[in-house]
């Protein structure tokens, strides 16, 4: 029977084990067959002590240790999913658990189990709490986006500043105050204020198609109250000038006609007026109604023509502007003289959108083909790619997944010609969250990402079979991790800036191992090498596996050479 004395961590068990071992050594010193035969029970007792210890070791130390390390690894990867103050409590739990597990006493080790349960509950509660806050802030942000073009820019900015100041609690030293929500009453008041201001101007310009168009152009835009006041003043000035011109023209006509009589011209003008209206009614198009309104700005059918334009269900309109300020011509369904429903827009640069609209904005579902042959087929919201969609690039690359404000966000798959593929989570157009990246040479990385780089816990595998599984920071190995080579050699321990750094253990397939300190991928510090034949070399080590020096306690070179095939070969 073989014994791993490193697993006898309890002081009491170690004393019992060593006492029994001394008894056996006493029997061995007599060196007779009869002594061995008559004292077999001593070996059985030694085995029983070891097995009893092993059971306690697994139950009170090893199980707790493994569970703690697993929780710690997962938590470190997802630490951004809880408030910093909650995470500080997690770190205090770490210290308490590590203290309980460091004791060479199984009864004290057992206390770690209770602490681990408390840690799990704390983490679960903290993560749920933080996810709830995130969802509240997401709803708040969505509400602000919804009303952006319905309130003045100054009011919207004020709401945004309030949102941002509250959002700072998510990463600060204070817990957010609940509930987290927008002031709906204030928003409704802001909407009503802008609505009333627009309505007042609408009444003044209703008899002028050109002025009315200027007002419509700004109604659904993100503008400041100051900008609107400029437009209001401009429109009122135009109205006054127009009234003056009409009065001047009327006076001139009266002077010219004078006593010559004006009944015939008046009748002729009335006839032209009626014919123009008949044409507008027969065509029922935006162009016909606008022509009537331009030629007869004081005609008795002016308001009816204006109302008819707003009710036309489909047709062609030109020189529209989308949410990005790009100009396009449109043909399709209408509402209020704006694209609404199914329709096709042709942009000035030859890009084409074929899909659904909502009050002049791309919305719901549609296909957008740019002038340089990018093709997007999918969902839209407020003029942006938002929801599920598929984007094809001219070079053959494809992204299929979720979008938010024209950027990749949420779950999505990006493939490139030649075998490159990323399948996972995105944020603001970058890999962020959990995902798997496959490189052209067959290498893969599966794990956590942040801002397009490996960050958190993940596993990288090369085509040759070399693999690393552990912690990453900004794309490089950092923290605790395990690397396995093609020949079966394994390193498990600390890393920094992509190199082995700190405490670590190197093992060979034949059972040999080196446990020591590493600095920038070289061995530098106290360590112990145990060969497959159980030879032990302990002391201060410096160098690499291929060229290593072992110093004794006095600082003298004790042995120098290389470790090859799991053996220390001196020179």
pLDDT tens for 150-165 read 888 888 999 888 888 8
Q: Does residue 53 fall inside a structural domain?
A: yes
pLDDT value at 480 more than 70 = yes
Q: Cis bond leading into 489, ω under 30°?
A: no
Residue 356, domain CATH: 2.20.110
For residues 216-241, give the mean pLDDT. Answer: 78
pLDDT digits (tens, 9 = 90+) for 292-345: 788 888 787 888 877 877 878 888 888 888 877 889 999 999 887 889 999 999
49 and 96 in a common domain? yes
Once rounded to an integer, what is the mean pLDDT over residues 125-144? Answer: 87
Where in the sequence is the domain holding 125, given as residue range(s)? 5-145
Q: At residue 246, does pLDDT exceed 60?
A: no
Cα separation, 172 vs 522, whole angstroms? 39
Residue 555: inside a domain, yes or no? Answer: no
Mean pLDDT of 80-106: 90
R_g of the chain computed on alpha carbons: 40
pLDDT in tens, 367-389: 999 999 999 999 999 899 999 99
Locate 479 and state its tokens: 């923290």
Note whether residue 251 is domain-resident. no
Rounded to a whole number of angstroms, the distance between the first and last alpha carbons of the chain is 36
For position 65, what pLDDT does the model report?
A: 92
Instruction: Give me the pLDDT at residue 409, please.
Output: 95
- Is the distance from CB of 495 to CB of 503 less than 8 angstroms? no
For residues 286 and 323, state if they share a domain.
Answer: no
Encode 99-120: b = buried (16+ Cβ within 10 Å), e = exposed: ebbebebbebbebbbebbeebe
Q: Identify whether the C-beta of residue 322 lies closer than 8 Å to the C-beta of residue 361.
A: yes
- For residue 220, being part of any structural domain is answered with no
- Residue 390's pLDDT band (boundaries 50, 70, 90)? very high
Higher pLDDT, 318 or 121: 121
Cα 314 from Cα 206, distance rounded (Å): 23
Number of alpha carbons in the 13 Å side-chain half-sphere of residue 184: 3
* Residue 505 pLDDT exceeds 60: yes
pLDDT at residue 242 is higher than 80? no
- Asked if 17 and 47 sit in the same domain, the reply is yes
Considering the domain architecture, whether residues 17 and 116 belong to the same structural domain is answered as yes
Pair of tokens at residue 571: 């020179």
pLDDT confidence bin for 483, thresholds 50/70/90? very high
> What is the pLDDT, as a whole number, of residue 352?
95
Task: Report pLDDT for 46.
Answer: 85
Lowest mean pLDDT among 4-8, 22-26, 116-120, 273-277: 273-277
Whether residue 400 sits in one domain with residue 328: yes
Say what the pTM is. 0.52
CA dihedral 258, 262, 266, 269 (to 10 degrees): -70
Domain membership flag for residue 328: yes
Q: Check whether residue 266 and residue 327 sit in a common domain.
A: no
Domain identity same for 288 and 390: no
Query: Over the range 314-323, which residues count as b (16 or more CB within 10 Å of their CB) and which as e?
Result: ebebeebebe
For the residues 182-204, what does the mean pLDDT come to? Answer: 85
244 or 346: whose pLDDT is higher? 346
C-alpha distances in Å from residue 347, one per residue of 103, 316, 342, 350, 519:
74, 14, 16, 5, 60
More confident residue, 304 or 69: 69
What Cα–Cα distance (Å) separates residue 503 from each residue in 274, 280, 359, 491, 497? Answer: 96, 87, 64, 10, 15
Asked if the model's pLDDT at residue 32 lies above 70, the reply is no
Domain count for the chain? 3
pLDDT of residue 249: 54
Average pLDDT over residues 416-445: 94
Last residue of a domain, one of 145, 171, 203: 145
Q: Which residues contact 169 (CB under 8 A, 6 or more apart)?
A: 175, 176, 177
User: Does residue 365 lie in a domain region?
Assistant: yes
Listed residues 123, 145, 167: the one ending a domain: 145
Is 50 exceeded by the pLDDT of residue 261? no
Quickly list DSSP for 37-99. Answer: HHTHHHHHHHHHHHHHHHHHIIIIIIHHHHHHHHHHHHHHHTGGGS-HHHHHHHHHHHHHHHH
Segment holding 568, helix H or strand E: strand 567-570
Quick one: pLDDT band at residue 200, thresholds 50, 70, 90? Answer: confident
- Rounded-to-integer distance, Cα 567 and Cα 76, Å: 37
pLDDT for 269 equals 73
438 pLDDT band (50/70/90 cuts)? very high
Residues 24, 121 within the same domain: yes
Task: Based on the fold, state whether residues 272 and 402 are members of the same structural domain.
Answer: no
Higher pLDDT, 279 or 47: 47
Does one domain contain both 20 and 141?
yes
83 falls within a domain: yes
Are 20 and 129 in the same domain? Answer: yes
Highest mean pLDDT: which range of 5-9, 186-190, 224-228, 481-485: 481-485
Domain boundary residue among 145, 178, 201?
145
Residues 286 and 320 grouped into a single domain:
no
Average pLDDT, the chain: 85
Give the model's pLDDT for residue 554: 80
Question: Is 192 contained in some domain?
Answer: no
Give the residue, 81 or 284, on which the prediction is more confident. 81
Distance CA 115, CA 100 (A): 9
Question: Does the pLDDT at position 259 exceed 50?
Answer: no
Predicted confidence at residue 260, as pLDDT, reads: 46
571: confidence class by pLDDT, cuts 50, 70, 90? low
What was the pLDDT predicted at 81?
86
Whether 458 and 474 have beta carbons less than 8 Å apart is answered as: no
């Amino acid at each position: 029977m073989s014994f791993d004395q490193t697993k006898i961590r309890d002081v009491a068990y170690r004393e019992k084990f060593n006492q029994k071992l001394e008894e056996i050594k006493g029997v061995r010193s007599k060196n007779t067959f009869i002594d061995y035969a008559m004292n077999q029970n001593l070996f059985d007792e030694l085995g029983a002590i070891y097995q009893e210890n092993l059971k306690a070791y697994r139950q009170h130390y090893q199980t707790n240790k493994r569970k703690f390390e697993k929780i710690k690894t997962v938590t470190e990867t997802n630490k951004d999913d809880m408030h910093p103050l909650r995470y500080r409590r997690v770190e205090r739990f770490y210290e308490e658990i590590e203290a309980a597990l460091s004791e060479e006493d199984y009864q004290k080790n057992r206390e770690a189990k209770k602490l681990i349960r408390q840690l799990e509950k704390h983490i679960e509660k903290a993560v749920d709490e933080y996810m709830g806050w995130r969802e509240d802030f997401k709803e708040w942000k969505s509400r602000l986006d919804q009303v952006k073009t319905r309130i003045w820019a100054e009011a919207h900015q004020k709401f945004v500043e309030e949102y941002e100041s509250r959002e700072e609690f998510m990463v600060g030293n204070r817990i957010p105050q609940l509930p987290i929500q927008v002031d709906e009453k204030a928003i409704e008041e802001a909407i009503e204020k802008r609505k009333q201001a627009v309505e007042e101007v609408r009444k003044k310009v209703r008899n002028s198609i050109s002025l009315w168009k200027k007002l419509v152009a700004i109604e659904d835009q993100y503008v400041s109250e100051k900008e609107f006041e400029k437009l209001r003043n401009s429109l009122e000035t135009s109205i006054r000038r127009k009234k003056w011109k009409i009065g001047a023209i009327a006076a001139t006509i009266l002077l010219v006609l004078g006593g010559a009589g004006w009944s015939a011209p008046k009748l002729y003008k009335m006839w032209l007026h009626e014919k123009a209206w008949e044409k507008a009614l027969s065509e029922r198009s935006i162009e016909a109604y606008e022509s009537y309104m331009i030629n007869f700005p004081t005609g008795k059918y002016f308001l009816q023509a204006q109302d008819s334009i707003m009710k036309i269900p489909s047709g062609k309109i030109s020189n529209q502007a989308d949410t990005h300020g790009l100009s396009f011509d449109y043909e399709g369904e209408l509402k209020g003289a704006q694209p609404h429903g199914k329709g096709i827009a042709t942009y000035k640069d030859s890009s084409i959108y074929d899909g659904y609209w909502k009050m002049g904005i791309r919305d719901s579902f549609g296909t957008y083909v740019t002038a340089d042959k990018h093709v997007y087929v999918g969902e839209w919201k407020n003029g942006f790619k938002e929801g599920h969609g598929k984007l094809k690039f001219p070079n053959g690359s494809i992204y299929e997944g979720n979008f938010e404000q024209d950027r990749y966000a949420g779950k999505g798959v990006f493939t490139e010609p030649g075998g490159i593929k990323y399948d996972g989570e995105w944020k603001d157009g970058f890999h962020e969250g959990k995902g798997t990246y496959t490189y052209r040479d067959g290498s893969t990385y599966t794990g956590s990402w942040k801002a397009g780089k490996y960050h958190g816990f993940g596993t990288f595998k090369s085509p040759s079979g070399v693999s690393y599984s552990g912690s990453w920071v900004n794309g490089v190995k950092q923290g605790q991790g395990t690397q396995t080579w093609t020949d079966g050699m394994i390193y498990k321990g600390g890393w920094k800036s992509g190199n082995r750094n700190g405490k670590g253990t190197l093992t060979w397939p034949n059972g040999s191992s080196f446990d020591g300190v590493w600095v920038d991928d070289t061995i530098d510090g106290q360590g112990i090498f145990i060969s497959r034949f159980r030879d032990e070399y302990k002391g201060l080590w410096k160098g690499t596996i291929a060229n290593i020096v072992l110093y004794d306690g006095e600082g003298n070179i004790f042995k120098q050479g290389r470790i090859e095939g799991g053996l220390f070969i001196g020179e």
